[in-house]
Homo-oligomer: A and B are copies of this chain.
Amino acid sequence: MRQQRQFEIERRLRDIVGERVFVDVAERVSYGYDGSFGQYLPDFVTQPLATSEVQQIVKLANVYDLPIYPRGAGTNLSGGSLPVNGGIVLDFSQWNDEVTIYPDDLIIKTRPGVKTADIHALAEQHQLMYPPDPSSSSVCTIGGNLAENAGGPHGVKYGVTKDYVIGLEVVTAQGDIIRTGGNTIKNVTGYDLTKLLVGAEGTLGIITEATLRLIPKPQATQTALIVFDDLGSAGRSISQILTSGVRPSKMEILDHHAINKVVDYAGIDLPREAAAVLLVEVDGDEAILPKELETIKAALAKIGVTQVKIAASKSEEAALWQVRKAVSPAVVERGFTKISEDATVPLSQIPHMFEKIDEIKQKYDLNLVVFGHAGDGNLHPTISANMRDPEAVKNVENAVAEIFNYAIELGGTLSGEHGIGMMKKPFMTREFDAASLAFQKAIKDALDPNHRLNPGKIFPAAGETKLVLSHDD
């Protein structure tokens, strides 16, 4: 009976998308994981290439009461794309070539499967810039960025994905095609569904087209590396820089342990005893950049921070950025799993967060480094652990929970740019009281009453208050 129903659904999916339906376990299994944890088996995988196909699939899912999971490149770090309740995965990665730039309007219209890197390149061909730059840009899709409201180092000056989305085409849970926003930067016509849907992790509607605004591309960049002997100085320096009159385009920080990993891994010449290093990029007219970095240097000298190295050439600048680029590979260990977090705190609390994370590292004897986007308090505590060792798993679970709790205690948030997905939903009740969470749920229930769209994400199940990384699925 169940078998017959499956065949029937398969046949009807093939009526919609032809050969772009996968039902073999060997094929489906590769759509069951993402960049986080866990493995789940969807019942069907389809690769829609048109809004009308998405619409028909959603209507079919309503007929057969199946969950739907939109999916990009699966680089997600919070489990947002995991098909946790079976059902249909909509793999958008093949809908990757419909992207058009309107240079005179400073906008791009794109389908969800287009790679973020392709959007960057297209904008740059016209001396324009699409600023959001998640570190997965070269492989991730814009659809995934839209679902998770992806960030990146540019956030401190240019904001995140949401800040560049001015209009959407969306297929609703009922299978209607709707439009939100439009083609203009300023738009206050009706509710801002665009900014509600971007970052909603595919739980309120399926984005089938986005209109992105572009900005003039800065002519050049220049970078300084600042070394700190203690975390207090590092913390004070962040505010000092941001009130110096210069507006950095990137501010990336590495803690003591990250520095040592980078020295070990890439042989980069950094003082092993440093408490932290900060990379500060400025962008704009080439002639002014050295002066801007000197302004920052002078502001830092006022608070006793003097170890400032300004890149004197493009190659020196590239060498400085190797420090940041090497962190992620430097943390990887053979056979171990990397757990990337993104707890985010108010700027003034960054030193406290670093200290607390160091305590947690000691307490659970973890291979843990911290780096991240200092200009917006968005830190990435990153753990490398043997997740086949139950003891190690327990330690990671406890450490991550303590990190989240402390971030909230400091006035911060669970997630700056990775999303809630599966990984962080047990902690939602620590950040939001019952009424605040009920307000969010009311929106979900109104727009997707049957919880058909990416179910099992964002909202914790009743009583779910603990992170569990190990399971047997």
Contacts and interface: CB of A to CB of B under 8 A. Distances in A.
B183 A411 contact: yes
Contacts of A116: none
B443 A413 contact: no
Contacts of A185: 155-156, 159, 376-378
Given A433-B179, A446-B446, A189 B239 contact: no
A362 interface: no
A458 interface: yes
A190 B284 contact: no
B189 A200 contact: no
A172 B433 CA distance: 14
A287 B292 CA distance: 10
A42 interface: no
A324 B342 CA distance: 45
Looking at A219, A415, A443, A444, the one whose CB has the most chain B CB atoms below 10 A away is A443
A126 to B, nearest CB: 7
Contact of A431 (B189, B205, B411): B189
Nearest to A244: B216
A354 to B, nearest CB: 15
B128 A183 contact: no
A436 interface: yes
Given A178-B436, A182-B411, A216-B245, 16 more contacts: A160-B186, A176-B435, A178-B439, A179-B432, A183-B412, A184-B377, A184-B378, A184-B413, A189-B415, A189-B424, A191-B196, A192-B196, A192-B198, A215-B247, A218-B247, A246-B285
Contacts of A187: 344, 413, 415-416
A345 interface: yes
26 contacts: A102-B348, A104-B347, A106-B347, A127-B243, A148-B188, A151-B188, A162-B195, A176-B439, A177-B435, A179-B433, A184-B413, A184-B416, A186-B377, A187-B415, A187-B416, A188-B199, A188-B415, A189-B414, A190-B431, A193-B440, A195-B196, A284-B288, A443-B443, A443-B446, A445-B446, A446-B446
Given A178-B435, A189-B431, A242 B106 contact: yes
Interface residues of A, number: 100
Looking at A204, A239, A444, the one whose CB has the most chain B CB atoms below 10 A away is A239
Contact of A291 (B128, B285, B292, B347): B285
A186 B288 contact: no
A442 interface: yes
A346 B102 contact: yes
A127 B189 contact: no
A71 interface: no
Interface in A123-169: 126-128, 148-149, 151, 155-156, 159-160, 162-163
B195 A200 contact: no
A9 to B, nearest CB: 25
B373 A186 contact: yes
Nearest to A104: B348
Interface string A390-424: 00000000000000000000011111111110001
Nearest to A414: B189
A23 interface: no
A103 interface: yes
A114 interface: no
A220 to B, nearest CB: 9
A127 B243 CA distance: 6
